[in-house]
Amino acid sequence: EALDKGLEKTKAGLFSKLTKAVMGKSTVDDEVLDELEEILVTSDVGVTTTLKIIDRIQERVSKDKYFGASELNTLLKSEIQKLLAENNSNDFENFEYGNHKPYVIMVVGVNGVGKTTTIGKLAHKLKLAGNKVVLGAADTFRAAAVDQLKLWGERVDVRVVAQAMGSDPASVAFDTLQSAVANGEDVAIIDTAGRLHNKVALMNELTKIKNVMQKVVPGAPHEILLVLDASTGQNAIEQCKQFTQATHVNALALTKLDGTAKGGVVIGISDQFRIPVKYIGVGEGINDLQLFDRQDFVNSLFK
């Protein structure tokens, strides 16, 4: 239900247009396909992914002469479902964090995308699931980032490891993991600075943090979670490009889906980067982070 509400704007944008495009048409002709293409692109599905979807629909239409415009909805839904299935696992629900102790999540992303909020919500979620969680404030570049993380720590009642502003992020990460091991904590979530102005510097900093983590927990970080603001559409895609070049991102969180009609970006990003979307943010509240479920997502869009 929160998902339905969160996707309201995307759904309204996408589907009112889609309905208009096929209204009064009996078959799917080039004109309908052109309109569909435009609708997908303006919903931030992205050009490459849109063309892929249009190609598949065209193929289907050419095989079935009597394919009606009214069936377009169903076909579009199934094509989007297939695209999402190619890159997204639905196994996160049963994921055993306990296989790694601590399971280490390094969170990356540009400032303002909702990184801190996502970390707070995630800590809450993991705690409710019975895990002992610790947060590491390795975004030492901004005092506000450390303070905000501490606030979330208080709100969800998890420990936060922090040092003075400007201290070495790798040292914070090291401290966090060392104390996590000592305390028997199950999950350590490390916040990092989201400065993108210099890709080499970003790469070096993230590599340094990773190397230091591995001295304490071999194999860490198990997850490099990139947080992207879905409401920025194509900007999110650009950030994804930059961060995937700088480090080995293996999970995505897409925030602020509730405020935007650009929810199609979930489909485009997952297709272009072949990295699973693990979480979606559908509000500012503590419970507004959901594990991404591709079926629920598509069902909600096409409801």
Identify which range of 29-37, 60-68, 107-115, 168-176 contacts ligand GDP by CB under 6 A.
107-115
Does the annotation list 142 as a binding residue? no
Among 176, 247, 255, 290, binds ligand GDP (CB under 6 A): 255
Report if residue 117 touches ligand GDP, rule: CB under 6 A: yes
CB of 300 to ligand GDP, least distance (A): 15
**Given 15, 77, 150, 259, the residue binding ligand GDP (CB under 6 A):** 259
Q: Where are the alpha helices (DSSP H) in the chain?
A: 2-6, 8-22, 30-42, 47-63, 72-87, 115-128, 143-156, 169-183, 199-216, 234-246, 265-273, 294-301
- Site stretch for ligand GDP (CB under 6 A), options 180-188, 232-240, 253-261, 292-300: 253-261
Residue with tokens 């979670």: 225
Annotated ligand binding at 11? The verdict is no
The dihedrals phi and psi of 134, each to the nearest 5 degrees, come to -130, 145
By CB under 6 A, name the one of 45, 108, 113, 301 that touches ligand GDP: 113
Which of 221, 233, 268, 281: binder of ligand GDP (CB under 6 A)?
A: 281
Site for ligand GDP contains 146 (CB under 6 A): no
CB closer to ligand GDP, 288 vs 293: 288
Select the residue interacting with ligand GDP from 27, 73, 81, 111 (CB under 6 A).
Answer: 111
Give the separation between CA 52 and CA 241, rounded to whole angstroms: 20
Place of tokens 């306990």: 98
Q: Between residues 115 and 222, which has the closer beta carbon with respect to ligand GDP? A: 115
Q: Which of 59, 21, 60 is nearest to 39 (CA)?
A: 21
Reading the block at residue 5, the tokens are 């509400």
Cβ–Cβ under 8 Å, residues 175 and 72: no
Interacting span for ligand GDP (CB under 6 A) from 45-53, 64-72, 236-244, 250-258: 250-258
Q: Would you state the torsion angle of the CA atoms of residues 57, 58, 60, 65, taken in this order, to the nearest 10 degrees? A: 130
| Crossing angle for the helix pair 47-63 and 30-42, to the nearest 10 degrees | 150
Instruction: Name 52's Cβ contacts closer than 8 Å, sequence gap at least 6.
Output: 83, 271
Residue 256 marked in a binding site: yes
Contact window for ligand GDP (CB under 6 A) among 18-26, 37-45, 154-162, 283-291: 283-291
Which range in 17-25, 69-77, 111-119, 128-136 contacts ligand GDP by CB under 6 A?
A: 111-119
Closest approach of Cβ 83 to ligand GDP, in Å?
23
Which residue type is seen at 253? A
239 binds ligand GDP (CB under 6 A): no
**Which uninterrupted H or E stretch holds 108?**
strand 103-108
CB closer to ligand GDP, 40 vs 110 = 110
Nearer CB in complex with ligand GDP: 11/115: 115
Query: What strands, in cross-sheet order, belong to the sheet with 159-161?
Result: 159-161, 133-138, 187-192, 103-108, 223-229, 251-255, 277-281, 289-291
Q: What residues form the annotated binding site? A: 109-116, 191-195, 255-258
Task: Write out the residues near ligand GDP by the rule CB under 6 A.
Answer: 111-117, 148, 255-256, 258-259, 281-284, 288
Task: Please report, in range form, the residues annotated as the binding site for GTP.
Answer: 109-116, 191-195, 255-258
